[in-house]
Structure 1
């Protein structure tokens, strides 16, 4: 099967090279490689975000190639800019699909879905027989419930995409419930979670000695891979450290800028830690190379997350695969990964006092901590390996095919709506 994986703002090559990458890029990279191992041919279409990115089709791995399309400035766009050039990206995509028509279109996130609809409408060939599968890792409706900003236009476009796609993939039952509220039938969507590479993230292997304090025998080590901005939960973790003098914490930033010295959020957290008197036990690092993350995770005693919203749950899965017990806020995709009081402890809000209570509940009972680590590792390896995620995605492709042949009404109205959104 020829698959066009549309990932407008998720370049898979950095993740393929083992460099720090956003979850969407990691998803595009890992899924495409696993689908290729199953005999499919995948072309990933991404927007050119760097003038040095190659032109034409670039081979990423066996069966997988990447094509960068010119749309807007050749730089990484801010979140509020990402939809501005989707119409241009969709036009370029239409030309690319005319040259190499796939068997299935798979759009990752909402702007990619708009681009796919745009491409189908502007294609020089009849693309009506090519099914469209849409992946949502997050929905604005879910983000609003977590206290994040409302984006009315995006929410409207997500509803349109859900109704137009031949099959919808969501990362958690939370997203499934949101789409059901919009009237999307359950048989029209599947829950396919984010994945983990259990060969890379595993219990066996070496551990890191840096950036931990040398007083290893005196302190329990906590680690969190999170956004340092508000909503990532880092502030709550720093405040919790005031009441856990026996612990030290490493915060690994997920920001695209590797230099934490230039990160205003990092500076704010460092000042907070210093004022609270815990700066000697709180360490901030920039995004880490993929090869280094397992070593850091294996060197810790507990993974902790106080994020107000986590639509991917990637850090949690990687920690579980490395045998760490987990304490995390029950939000987004996290409840899909962590079974409460089986592989870790879920918190309701992730407030500092909750963090202290949950961490001590786990660490003060060594038998429980060990059991959580073992159960988490087993669950990560059995439910969330990318190989399984690829199989479940492949099944969605098959489900999408007969739906397309039946057709749906009001397509012109939806096309006009989608294209008007992509030009905003």
Structure 2
């Protein structure tokens, strides 16, 4: 099939770790890569956010179409909704000019879904939607800090009604779609995120620490991901303080992520806030900010750590726990959303309540004191990740649904496409005669 992936704010070419670059970028890149390996033709449509970007970029055998929609500068995703009409108009025109029609479009995030609905109406192309985050869940947790307009809710309602398939990333996501959006369970496909074995696998811990310049005599906690408040990194910093003050257990925290390669409070204001919390807790000498790093380097961070910790307020799925598990590193995660699905509490890792530094400190202290337990959790996490969450198995799961969606519309769509081609030829002939 010919498949168009729409990801308006998350380019597969971006470096993850910034405010608006994270799991969705990784998801889109890997889904596109796996679809190509299955023999499909794949284009990814994302907003052009730099003036010097070409219209078409490439990675591996995938075209990335940098759609002109709004100013060619980086904008917060909360400011992109007014530019989706231009995005949709460009895509419709682009798709009409292609020699081969698209069999299906797969929208990622609600704004991409809005574009997908326009395409469905104009060209009859079936629509698969992955929300990555739901507006009503975000509003519940972020309240007034949620910068998206209320119009998001109506758009998501329409997407749930009209998408040919809605992909839920975990059981909690599926439940939220049904109970908060009245989704038809028959049109929901439960498809988790994944990891690539070629990217993430166990390495020798001493060698990984040597590569990063980390000390061998310290118990090291790793936090890796987007630097935004809802990721709960402040909770990890405070938990480290409790470990030192109440449990008598010394540990170091390394935080990977941000908007620049070197940790910078100006480029990433969240770093400045977290440094302040570390000072308040009296552990600023034990909290280290490593900046953002390319995908090829991340396996060294996961393997160098004694434990990986992530305690977001909410999480539709969460790719970083899987990547840590794939490296054999024990995981402590918040008992929310997709983390509750990927991490089996007491078997492959530990789950704690979000926004609860005391509970997190207890879990960290437990793994520091019991190295055998940490090894068992790490080994079991590695086995679970390889059995359930590789990208190859993830992408195979919804392909039958994609095929059914495409088959349902293929005849009508190809007829419409041939009609459009015929009309364009007729128009060119008329212009030639008039000239």
TM-score by length of 1: 0.87
Alignment correspondent of 2:157: 159
Q: Which residue of 1 aligns with 2:60?
A: 61
**Hey, what's the Cα distance between the residues in 2 that align with 1:208 and 1:363?**
18
Give 1:310 shift: 2.3
Query: Following the alignment from structure 1 to structure 2, what is the Cα–Cα distance between the partners of residues 170 and 133?
Result: 11
Q: Tell me which residue corresponds to 1:290.
A: 295
Deviation (angstroms), 1:45: 1.1
Q: Counterpart of 2:50?
A: 50
Q: 1:15–1:26: structure 2 CA closer, same or farther, 3 Å change rule?
A: farther
Aligned residues of 1:320 and 1:326 also touching (Cα < 8 A)? yes
> Residues 195-245 of structure 1, C-alpha deviation per residue, up to 9 Å, x if partnerless?
11122110135413476663x32x311001134432221212111222323
Cα deviation, 1:62-82, whole Å, max 9, x if unaligned, reads 2x2111111100012213202
| Contact 2:15/2:293, CA 8 A, preserved across alignment | no
Q: Would you say how many aligned residue pairs link Structure 1 and Structure 2? A: 394
Q: In the aligned structure 2, how far is the partner of 1:40 from the partner of 1:170?
A: 22
Query: Are 1:362 and 2:344 counterparts?
Result: no
Rg comparison, structure with higher value: 2
> 1:280 maps to what in 2?
285
Other-structure match for 2:263: 260
Mapping 1:77-96, distance limit 5 Å: 77-96=75-94
Equivalent residue of 1:239, what SS? helix
Shift in CA distance, 259/366, structure 1 to aligned 2, threshold 3 Å: closer
Inter-partner Cα distance in structure 1 for 2:281 and 2:333: 23
Match of 2:171 among 165, 170, 173: 173
Counterpart of 1:373?
Answer: 378
Q: State which of 311, 319, 331 in structure 1 corresponds to 2:316.
A: 311
Q: Which runs of 5+ in 1 are unaligned?
A: 408-424
Instruction: Report if aligned partners of 1:226, 1:234 keep a CA contact under 8 Å in 2.
Output: no
The corresponding residue for 2:130 is 135
Structure 2 CA distance for aligned equivalents of residues 15 and 396 of structure 1? 31
- The Cα of 1:309 is off from its aligned counterpart by 1.9
- SS of match in other structure, 1:304: strand
Contact 1:142 1:175 in 2 (8 A): no
Alpha-carbon distance between aligned partners in 2 of 1:61 and 1:148, rounded to the nearest angstrom:
41
Correspondence for 2:70: 72
Q: CA deviation at 1:362?
A: 2.9
Aligned-pair CA distance for 1:402: 6.0
The structure with the greater share of residues assigned to helix is: 2
What is the CA–CA distance in structure 1 between the aligned matches of 2:318 and 2:363, rounded to whole Å?
19
For residues 284-320 of structure 1, the C-alpha deviation after alignment (integer angstroms, 9 at most, x for no partner) is 1221111111111111110111211222311111111
Residues 42 and 15 of structure 1: CA distance in aligned 2, closer, same or farther (over 3 Å): farther
Moved over 6 A (4+): none
Cα separation, 2, equivalents of 1:14 and 1:188: 31
Q: Counterpart of 2:64 in 1: which secondary structure?
A: strand
1:92-241 map, 5 Å: 92-100=90-98, 101-121=101-121, 123=122, 127-128=123-124, 130-149=125-144, 151-181=149-179, 182-204=181-203, 206-209=207-210, 214=215, 216-217=216-217, 219-241=218-240
SS at 2:284 equivalent: coil
Whether contact under 8 Å (1:94, 1:120) holds in the other structure is no
Partner of 2:427: none
Preserved CA contact (<8 Å) 2:129 2:167: yes
Change (3 A) 1:80 1:59: closer
Partner of 1:389: 394
**Inter-CA distance 34–174: structure 2 relative to 1 (3 Å threshold):** same
Consecutive unaligned residues of structure 2, counting only runs of 5 or more, are 245-249, 413-435
Asked if 1:346 corresponds to 2:347, the answer is: no
- Greater CA deviation, 315-324 or 342-351? 342-351
Matched, 1:251 2:246: no
Separation (CA, whole Å) in 2 of partners of 1:211 and 1:15 = 19
- Which of 334, 340, 347 in structure 1 is aligned with 2:339? 334
CA distance in 2, matches of 1:201, 1:70: 35
Shift of 1:192: 1.1
1:275 to partner: Cα distance: 3.0
